[in-house]
Amino acid sequence: MASAGIDFTLGSRRLARVPRELATWAFSLEDVLAAALPPAPPPARDGVRVLSAPTALLPELAARYPGCIPGGRQDYRRHYIDMGFGFEAYMAGFSGKTRSTFKRKARKLAEEVPGGYHVTAHRTPAEIEAFLAAALPLSAKTYQARLLGAGLPGDPASRRAMLAAAEDDRMRAFLLHAGGTPIAYLSLPVSGRTLVYAHLGYDPAFARLSPGTVLQIEALERLFAEHRFAWFDFTEGDGAHKALFGTHAAACSSLVLLEPTLANRTLLGAREAFDAGVASAKTLAERSGALGRIRAALRG
């Protein structure tokens, strides 16, 4: 059984997590594109956590766990890049204005940081060790790590998994250095012919220089040049960065299917009421023009 939790989040800040024992049923991009259900895992004590399943298949998916009650559902567009063509063709898919913006951001970073910037690629075990040595301290500064506990994992099991993947040439990672100091990282496990967007982070002190965007473009150019990958999967969840760089998107959902105990019913009811309250507050903030300030405060 796997320990998981039902999160209560406000913007990018996790306010509380209620622990539950849940099996995980995660859908790869290939599963989503095939529109077929992979083998379902047996439920844990409290049920199953479903990650990024095709929305159209949710009724069939729920039928695999009769009696379980659904909750915490999130619907979104799962963005991905079709890498079946070259980098130049990929860049041509952006508007001229967007391409100019990319160039301007790279130029600004090069001009404003003494010594400019450069990107290093990491794929062998030794290179991944060097990547982790630089990226883990950097990750600790990010709001994903500070507020959500979702930074680059540095525990022994995660480190072993990354090094084992590197041994099999199933790992790609990149560091953006500015003035000789790492300021952004990108970690991409490889699953078959798919690059999995696992972790992107950057030093918040450099946020105005768009290091995540600069690193993403540099990394994609090198990855396209390998002529090995069919897809770049931005995985579950939506976001402006994913929408910008993706070439396609699929309708997906994440949710939990819980055993119908009184405690679980109460938990899902509380989560539903909390989400409704957050949605109402967001609507009011949008109307008042305060949403941007609130988001900035939550990340601060």
Q: What is the mean pLDDT of residues 19-46?
A: 94
- Residue 295 in this model has a pLDDT that exceeds 60: no
The pLDDT value given to residue 1: 44
- Considering the chain, what percentage of its residues have pLDDT values greater than 70? 91
pLDDT tens for residues 60-117? Answer: 999 999 999 999 999 999 999 999 999 999 999 999 999 999 999 999 999 999 999 9
> At 290, is the pLDDT very low, low, confident or very high (cuts 50, 70, 90)?
low
Contact between residue 233 and residue 196 where contact means Cβ atoms under 8 Å apart: yes
What percentage of the chain carries pLDDT values higher than 90?
Answer: 77
3-state secondary structure of 90: helix
Specify whether the CB–CB gap between 29 and 194 falls below 8 A.
Answer: yes
* pLDDT tens figures, 229-272: 999 999 988 889 999 999 999 999 999 999 999 999 999 999 99
Domain ranges across the chain: 3-77+250-299, 84-229
The mean of the pLDDT values for the chain is 90
DSSP the chain: --EEEEEEEETTEEEEEEEEEEEEEE--HHHHHHT-PPPPPPP-SSEEEEEEEEGGGHHHHHHTSTT-EEEEEEEEEEEEEE-SS-HHHHHHTS-HHHHHHHHHHHHHHHHHSTT-EEEEEE-SHHHHHHHHHHHHHHHTTSHHHHHHS-S---SHHHHHHHHHHHHTT-EEEEEEEETTEEEEEEEEEEETTEEE--EEEE-GGGGGG-HHHHHHHHHHHHHHHTT--SEEE--SS--HHHHHH-SEEEEEEEEEEE---HHHHHHHHHHHHHHHHHHHHHHHHHHHT-HHHHHHHHH-
Closest by alpha carbon to 33, among 75, 79, 84?
79
Give the model's pLDDT for residue 292: 58
- pLDDT confidence of residue 60: 95
Q: Confidence band (pLDDT; 50, 70, 90) for 131?
A: very high
Q: Which pLDDT does position 121 carry in this prediction?
A: 98
**CATH for 84-229, among 1.10.10.10, 3.40.630.30, 3.10.20.30, 3.40.50.2300?**
3.40.630.30
Mean pLDDT value across residues 274-280 = 85
pLDDT score at 3: 61
Q: What is the pLDDT averaged over residues 206-231? A: 97
Instruction: Mean pLDDT check: name the lowest of 4-13, 34-43, 167-176.
Output: 4-13
Q: Where residue 12 falls among pLDDT bands split at 50, 70, 90?
A: low
Summarize the confidence of residues 134-141 as an average pLDDT.
Answer: 92
Q: Residues 143-178: pLDDT tens digits?
A: 665 655 567 988 999 999 999 999 999 999 999 999
